[in-house]
Each structure stands twice: as structure tokens, then as C-alpha cells.
Amino acid sequence: MSLPPYTSDPTVPAQPRRLHRSRTDRKIAGVAGGLADYFGVDSTWVRIAFVASILLPGPQVLLYLILWLVIPQD
């Protein structure tokens, strides 16, 4: 029996992961905290990746605003 990667106890039923904006780990809107929780990484790394991506051409700020509107709050 294979287990999902986010649970190690076979007696506990696996909870599905949900993408949400964090209420506790937030600087602006909780998008980075929610993404970090969903992917299982530290929110600092998500924030660093976003700030680094600002140096590249593209609609990063627009994407952040869209995620702010689309992702439900925790």
C-alpha cells in the first residue's frame, strides 16, 4: 500500500491538500504563505522566489493580484 507523501501514519486517513491564503503567515495578502503551505516549503523561499522573479520580464505582479482574488482565505 503506497501512502501519499504528506502522511506517514497508515492509520490516519489522508487529508486532501487545499490551496488557500494564509491568515497567520502573511505579509501582504497571505498568498505566499498559502502557496508555501500547499507545497510544503518555508514561506520565506516562496517570497524570495517571487522577488527574484520580479527581475525577469513578465506579469508577476499581475499574477500575484489574480492569485489574491482567486485563492480563498483559510
**What is residue 19's predicted lDDT score, i.e. its pLDDT?**
85
Percent of the chain with pLDDT over 70: 82
Other CB atoms within 10 A of residue 26 CB: 16
Q: Are 21 and 33 in contact (CB under 8 A)?
A: yes
pLDDT tens for 40-55 read: 899 999 999 999 998 9
**What is residue 26's predicted lDDT score, i.e. its pLDDT?**
82
pLDDT tens for 13-36 read: 667 788 888 888 888 888 988 899
**What is residue 66's predicted lDDT score, i.e. its pLDDT?**
92
- 7: number of CA atoms within 13 Å, CB side? 13
